[in-house]
Amino acid sequence: MPHIPLHNPHVNRMAYDPHQQAGPTATGSGRPSPARFYAACQGGAEATNAYEPDRLAAHRIREAGLDPVSITRAHRAFQQRAVIAAAQAGVSQFLDVGCGLPPVTGPTTQARAETIHPRTARTLYLDADPVVVRHAQALMRSTRTGAADAARADLRDPQAVLGLAGEHLDLRRPVCLLLTGVLHYLPDSDQPHALVRALVDGLPAGSAVAVSHLTDAYDPRMMRQTEDVLHEAGLMIRARPAAGIVRFFSGLALTSPGVVPVPHWHARPEPDAAWPRPRVHTLGGLGRKPASPHRRCTRCSPTTAKGRA
């Protein structure tokens, strides 16, 4: 595997000040936003992107029994491995929906992709939060080794997402759709499975879909308590059962090892050893869109999630 730099080479840190956000985000300055909450949960340098409501929400789920640092870092590590896996399978275009704030440390999606496809990788970052988009446009730009752009779009509007993808990517060639750590922000009333299906239908054959999602498969009571705590703080989170997460891959050929706890997905001999490994209550997988319904790989059809988170 090519060497991956530990710091994002696309970000000019001298120009980066997350506290220059002069005014509320899309969800209001007095409430946590998904992007800032995710940053607060990661801790360390990433938490500099968060405000007090975001840090308080992270503290409250810790009191509920979860480890927000391990959970969010597991999502992030899974996404990076999924990007590498898709790129090694020949996909050079990446659509990162619900991308969140640019990382303070560690590589971006485009940095990962460009190690496999230098000069031909293309990445489009999309988020509904205008502050996220402004930071992404300023910090995650095209380089000599790949093209990148950012735009505002809501996952709940798949036609808008696909329209922007058509403007920035070549939809005649496969695309890797990244939905990591974002679908659990959608309630059942938003019909998230139908939204994902609409996005997949708009992508060419050979495209990949990566999903990581909080699950209640291992401790439903704790996850219901977590949902209640975050709802009181102003954030909607919906942890889903394993079968509900597998459904996001309907019509796709799941790559090995299927939908599993994210620390186990394409894990190295010491998987995600940079932090302790309690249960992260997160399942993830990578699926490929077959050429036609008649050529689906029956050996790779969606399977029941296994293992411990």
Going from the N-terminus, what domains does the chain have, and what CATH number goes with each?
Answer: 36-300 (3.40.50.150)
Give the tokens for residue 217.
């498969």
Please state, in angstroms and rounded to a whole number, the distance separating the CA atoms of residues 52 and 31. Answer: 9
Please, what is the Cα angle at 34 between 79 and 268, to 5 degrees?
20
Compute the average pLDDT of residues 62-69: 90
Please state, in angstroms and rounded to a whole number, the distance separating the CA atoms of residues 260 and 46. Answer: 26
The pLDDT assigned to 97 comes to 97
The pLDDT assigned to 238 comes to 96
pTM comes to 0.83
Give the lowest-confidence range in 22-26, 77-81, 181-185, 224-228: 22-26
Among 144, 233, 245, smallest CA distance to 186 is for 245
Give the tokens for residue 83.
């990007």
The pLDDT assigned to 101 comes to 85
| Cis geometry, peptide bond prior to residue 158 (ω within 30 degrees of 0) | no
Judging by DSSP bridges, how do beta strands 121-127 and 93-97 pair with one another?
parallel
Please, what is the Cα angle at 143 between 88 and 137, to 5 degrees?
105
User: Where are the alpha helices (H) located in the chain, listed in sequence order?
Assistant: 34-42, 52-63, 68-88, 109-116, 130-139, 158-168, 192-201, 220-233, 242-246
CB 239 within 8 A of CB 192: no
CA pseudo-torsion sign 226, 232, 235, 236: positive
| Residue that the structure tokens 């008649």 belong to | 294
Give the lowest-confidence range in 89-103, 104-118, 289-303: 289-303
CA distances from 110 to 29, 95, 126, 150, 261 (A): 30, 10, 13, 12, 24
Please state, in angstroms and rounded to a whole number, the distance separating the CA atoms of residues 29 and 53. Answer: 8
Compute the average pLDDT of residues 93-109: 87
CB 73 within 8 A of CB 262: no
The larger pLDDT score, comparing residue 234 to residue 9, is at 234
**Which residues contact residue 183 at a Cβ distance below 8 angstroms, ignoring those fewer than 6 apart?**
155, 192, 196, 211, 213, 248
- pLDDT, tens only, 177-233: 999 999 999 999 999 999 999 999 999 999 999 999 999 999 999 999 999 999 999
Please state, in angstroms and rounded to a whole number, the distance separating the CA atoms of residues 204 and 199. Answer: 10
Please state, in angstroms and rounded to a whole number, the distance separating the CA atoms of residues 87 and 58. Answer: 33
Helix 158-168 vs helix 192-201: angle between axes, to the nearest 10 degrees? 30
- pLDDT, tens only, 265-305: 997 755 555 544 458 999 999 999 998 654 444 444 444 55
